[in-house]
Amino acid sequence: MNKDLIENIGDNHISSNVNTPLLPTAFDKNDDEKIKTIQHHFSKIMETLGLDLTDDSLSGTPYRFAKMYVKELFYGLNPENKPKLSVFENKYSYNKMLVEQNITIDSSCEHHFLPITGHAHIAYIPKDKVIGLSKINRLVDYYAHRPQVQERLSLQILKDLQTILNTEDVIVMIAAKHLCVSSRGIKDKDSFTTTIEYGGCFEKKAYRNEFLNIVNNTTK
């Protein structure tokens, strides 16, 4: 790929697939082996930048960086880390909108590996299944902890919830700031990005409006 095209894809945040592009060999190495490999390569990056890794303050950075990538920021790449999403019978037959708001988004942009931070607001209308509220937060956390594009993050959460809850009636809205927009490139400190994905009854404007009213009136 030529350098202009590389910059263009990054600046326009173009994503090519709903699924995170993973190699077939993605999990051949275990976490410890990955940390070791990344530690080695990151020390080379630091040295290339001219940093002295014999300095006490810097010597542990490649290890800290590698461990943070594998165990924290990108733990959601590994399907083994996916939260168990137990659902329950909808015994009380609640069949109106349930809205879970202000779910923290801590993610990273896959084009620049810089933070994406903000909130997700999610609603569904139960059919025969309901889900524990904190499970929605855990699912969001899991998909956020991968190199991401905001549109794909919204879709991955939506599709999973639709499958687990056995209904199309789900809506996912994410409003987030991208450090790659605020700290580099255009350096806009105030703009943020909103994405909204939905299916089923949320295709109807009245349902979307009810959702948006709840979010707007109760979210600080």
Minimum CB distance to Zn ion smaller for 39 or for 145: 145
> Any catalytic annotation for residue 41?
no
Segment near Zn ion (CB under 5 A); pick from 96-104, 152-160, 173-181, 204-212: 173-181
> Any catalytic annotation for residue 210?
no
Q: Segment 93-152, which members bind Zn ion (CB under 5 A)?
A: 109, 111-112
Which of 191, 187, 186, 161 lies closest to 176, judged by CA? Answer: 191
Nearest-CB residue for Zn ion:
180
**215 with 173: CB under 8 angstroms?**
yes
Across 31-165, the runs of DSSP E, i.e. the strands, are: 87-89, 98-109, 115-124, 129-131, 147-148
Minimum CB distance to Zn ion smaller for 111 or for 146: 111
> Any catalytic annotation for residue 201?
no
**CB proximity list for 9: less than 8 A, separation 6 or greater:** 111
**151 with 116: CB under 8 angstroms?**
no
> Any catalytic annotation for residue 13?
no
> Any catalytic annotation for residue 180?
yes
> Which residue of the set 39, 111, 148, 162 is catalytic?
111
| Sign of the dihedral through C-alpha 46, 49, 52, 57 | negative
Minimum CB distance to Zn ion smaller for 13 or for 119: 13
Active site (catalytic) residues: 109-112, 150, 178, 180
